[in-house]
Amino acid sequence: MAARKIGPGTYQMSRVGIKSTAAIVGPKEGEGPLRTYFDEVWESETHQQKSVERAERMLLEDTMNLAVEKAGCRWPEIDLVLGGDLLDQIVSTNFVARRHQRPLLGLFSACAVFTEALGLGGLLVADHEPTTVAVGAVSHHMAAERQFRFPVELGYQRTPTAAWTATAAGAVVVGPAEVGHVVIDGVTFGRVVDWGSKDPNDMGSAMAPAAFDTIKQHLVATGEGINDYDAIFTGDLGVLGVNLLQALGNKEGLHFDDRLNDCGKSLYYLKEQDVHNGASGPGCSASVFAGYLHHRLLSGEWRRLLLVATGALFSPTTYQQGESIPCIAHAVSLGRPEAKLS
């Protein structure tokens, strides 16, 4: 195993594999087009918990427990846990760590935290120690709405540009690659990009420039092109954000065409489920990858995937004070299993 820097924030790595994935989602997500790819669909948003925040913790805990079990591991065999969530002080991630009692690196890149954790975990494994890393991210619709906007009980009117924070969690166990594993072969950690957007109800447009910046940096550093990937999935740009990303690419001669898609666009039936711009939240890209995208690679339908989760780095306080919304995106390159490993 090895890792080497090939450009600003970009690293190649070899012989890093995904040992297992797990995805658990809420009832609305289970009504969407990806239902069959999830390990479990909750029957209710609260899952018999006293608060939606406690439900979010259980969602993450159950998902990570399942990923560890599917990897054929026990928690004492997990060297390090990486991940985060959307709530203040990443309380879901931290409180779940009270239970599993493994060394923790709690991370925050808002909705981009899953690829931040996956890329960092891959780098650590590529450099030989630790050997087994668990990665997880979670979000809960009602918990996020209460923190960033209003309790859903108020029944406020959502704007057409608004995204629907997913009640979902995804977890991955990363270790030395073995035959049959999807492999992680590269990562580009993004830089903070701020084009001056101030609308917390239009995150897709705010995050699209950061996604484009990271994708461009990744392709320049690796010497690859769009056609080297069967699919490029952003995190939660939604309909508007993907359209803007396409336009930014066309302006600079980087034509995504039909290779570009988005986890937020894929999680729901957009019109039928009345989610407007699509899904958002750390659990969006985490669950879509752990369920659907990993399956496409594992089955051999795709040869390579670039997963680019996107995050808006604001707080309820900053936007109320009139600050613009800085954004970030982290990209992880993944490949299908090969018959043998060199």
In this prediction, residue 7 carries a pLDDT of: 97
Cα 111 from chain centroid? 6
In this prediction, residue 155 carries a pLDDT of: 46
Using pLDDT thresholds of 50, 70 and 90, give the confidence band for residue 185. very high
Residue 293 in tokens: 């995208």
Whether the per-residue pLDDT at 156 is higher than 60: the answer is no
Whether the per-residue pLDDT at 200 is higher than 70: the answer is yes
Per residue in 57-95, pLDDT (tens digit) is 999 999 999 999 999 999 999 999 999 999 999 999 999
User: What mean pLDDT is predicted for residues 174-199?
Assistant: 95
Per residue in 216-238, pLDDT (tens digit) is 999 999 999 999 999 999 999 99
Per residue in 262-290, pLDDT (tens digit) is 999 999 998 899 887 888 999 999 999 99
In this prediction, residue 193 carries a pLDDT of: 98
Q: What percent of the chain has pLDDT over 70?
A: 94
Whether the per-residue pLDDT at 315 is higher than 60: the answer is yes
In this prediction, residue 339 carries a pLDDT of: 41
User: What mean pLDDT is predicted for residues 118-124?
Assistant: 97
Whether the per-residue pLDDT at 55 is higher than 50: the answer is yes
C-alpha angle with apex 91: 89 to 96, nearest 5 degrees? 145
User: What mean pLDDT is predicted for residues 316-341?
Assistant: 85
Contacts of 210 (CB under 8 A, 6+ apart): 190, 192, 193, 310, 311, 327, 328, 329
Query: Dihedral of CA 291/110/164/238: which sign?
Result: negative
Distance CA 228, CA 181 (A): 20
Q: What percent of the chain has pLDDT over 90?
A: 80
In this prediction, residue 157 carries a pLDDT of: 54
Place of tokens 């084009």: 195
Distance CA 10, CA 224 (A): 13
Using pLDDT thresholds of 50, 70 and 90, give the confidence band for residue 149. low
Q: Which domains does the chain have, with CATH numbers?
A: 1-342 (3.40.47.40)
- Mean pLDDT for all residues in the chain: 92
In this prediction, residue 81 carries a pLDDT of: 98
Biggest CA-to-CA distance, the chain: 58
